[in-house]
Structures are given as C-alpha cells and as structure tokens.
Amino acid sequence: MRLTHLFFCLKEKSQDCMYLQYCKVCQSYKAPRSHHCRKCNRCVMKMDHHCPWINNCCGYQNHASFTLFLLLAPLGCIHASFIFVMTMYTQLYNRISFGWSSVKIDMSAAKRDPRPIIPFGLSAFAASLFALGLALGTTIAVGMLFIIQMKVILTNKTSIESWIEEKAKDRIQYYQTGETFIFPYDMGSKWKNFKQVFTWSGIPEGDGLDWPVRDGCHQYTLTIEQLKQKADKRVRSVRYRAVEDYSGVCCPVTKGVKTFFTTPCTEEPRIALSKGDLILATRGLKHWMYGEKILDSAADGGIRERGWFPRKCVEKCQYDSETDQPVDGEKKNR
C-alpha cells in the first residue's frame, strides 16, 4: 500500500478530509502538494512534472537528483564541445596552406608529422561538426531547464504550484474579491528554501506529507485554493456539442491546415469525439480547445475523459440543458 494512501486512510475520519482533494483513480485522498500523474498512474508527493527522458516523475524524493542532472549534463556537453573544437582545430591546422590570394584545406592527409593516431578525413570532420552542434544545443536547452528549476526551488515551489499561483491571481482579478493569495511554503529566504530540497545526506527534509509554512498560513492553504479554482472552473466552463467526428489524433489532416499546424505542444491527451457528444470546455486556443467529455457516470464507472480537440469540430450550446439558462462566456485565453 502506498505511503500516501496508508496515511490518509487513517485520517479519513478527521475533519481535515474536507480540505483534501480526492483522487478518483487511486481511490484515496491526496496529500498536500501531491498530484496524480497520468503516465505513472499514481499520485506523486510534491510533483513537479513527468520527465519522459528519465521515464519517471520529478517530485519529493528525486527533485534534488534531477536538478543536479540538469546541471551536470550541460557541464559534460561543454567539456565535449571543448574536445571537439580542439580536435578539429589541431587537425585542420595541419591541413591548411596559406597562399597570397586564398586559403586551401587538404582533407586527404596531414602535411606535417607526426601523423595522427586516428585518421581524420572528411567524414570524421562532418561527424565532429555534427556532434559539436548536438553538444551546444543540449547545453543551451538543458541549461535553460536548470535555470527554471532553480527559480522554483529558490521560492520553494514546483512548476505545477507556480501555475496554481498564477491561476490564483487570475481568479482574484476576475472576480475582484480583493483577497490576497500568499504561497504558504515560501520561507522568505532563498537559503531556507534551498535547504528544503538539497541536503548533505541527499534525503530531502520532511516526510513529504507535512511541510513548514509561513505565518498566517496552514497545511491546507494551497489545497483550499486548488478547490476554489476547481469550483471556479466548473462555473466558468462552457458547454459545447460535437458537430463532427474526431478520431483523437495529435495532428488531424482532415480538420484544416491551420488546425494541423497549430496543434498544442503539450503532453496532455486528445479526446475522440463523435457527433452529438457534449463537452465542457475550460480553456482554449484559436483552433483548439481543452475540456471534459460529459459521460454517463453510471455506465462509464466514473471515468473522466479530458483532453484537447479541434475547435471546428464543436459548436457552442445556446442553452444549458440542466439549468435551461444561457451558459457563461468562455474563459479568456492566457
């Protein structure tokens, strides 16, 4: 039995359950800062994201190891780039002849002794140049990911929690409630936040269930905000009806050129649609929308189908069938 499931089985009778989110897949309450991963098919403590390169989630137990990997990978690529550059320089130096009017490069053989231990011909030069490009590209890409991870670590957040905080600001501004959302886990000191993840023993502080919080906050401050956002999403969702069939492919060819080339660059799934299906859309792009298909909970066992679908495959329902009132306007795009 999972640790989170065992812990919250003991707390189901307490009043704290009213503040917790319930995972329908794992059939248990989720610990604060935990999220369900569709790829791993489990709830992950302090989940940051699912990384396809390590085929695992980055969360409470391995956040420090993953961040060190993002640091060491660019350093290794920088070292490899230096070797490639020096190799090409030394080999080309032995093959370059400088004339009065031009510079000539002879790739057939070195003109000076000693001869290289490993032959360096045109194919080796092309391979070294290609490897240099890969090394530099990896250095830039992974280095940017390392900077992003350090930013969230120094504020004691995860990538998901940063997104939750942005949505909290959007919710407060939309309804003009005048409230102020304070992220509860930011200790106010970058060094204290850093020590929450990086320790000399390699084991992160805490147990992944209870966390130190700022003054004026408690363990369920972030969870309560998530529940408010879910309720807000249900209120601001818009009902659509499918007018065309959609197979659920990532880049549909038959739905138009713009739909094909503007497919969302995300790991979130697509949902197949049949003509007449009802969907609750919660957000959207110009040519795509994200929402949840309205299913018969009794027949489908409570399974939720959420994902992206082409905007041209649906049309907005003029009236809500449950309330017989016009549906609310679409949520503004971010």
| Contact criterion met (CB below 8 Å) for 256 and 311 | no
**What is the total residue count of the chain?**
334
pLDDT in tens, 212-252: 888 888 888 888 888 888 888 888 888 999 999 999 888 88
Residues carrying an active site annotation: 51
pLDDT band at 314 (very low <50, low <70, confident <90, very high): very high
The neighbouring-strand residues paired with 104 are: 97
CA distance linking residue 62 with residue 186, whole number of Å? 20
Q: Tokens for 27? A: 């059939």
pLDDT value at residue 107:
56
Average pLDDT, the chain: 80
pTM of the model: 0.71
C-alpha closest to that of 262 among 230, 291, 284: 284
Going by the DSSP 8-state scheme, the letter that residue 270 receives in this structure is B
What pLDDT is stored for residue 323 in this prediction? Answer: 44
How far apart are alpha carbons 199 and 157 in whole angstroms? 17
The string of DSSP codes covering 160-222 is HHHHHHHHHHHHHHHHT-------TT--S-HHHHHHHH--TTSPPSS-SS-----TT--TTHH
The mean pLDDT of 295-317, rounded to a whole number, is: 76
Residues 269-286 pLDDT 10s: 899 999 889 998 988 889
Given this model, what pLDDT does residue 326 score?
Answer: 43
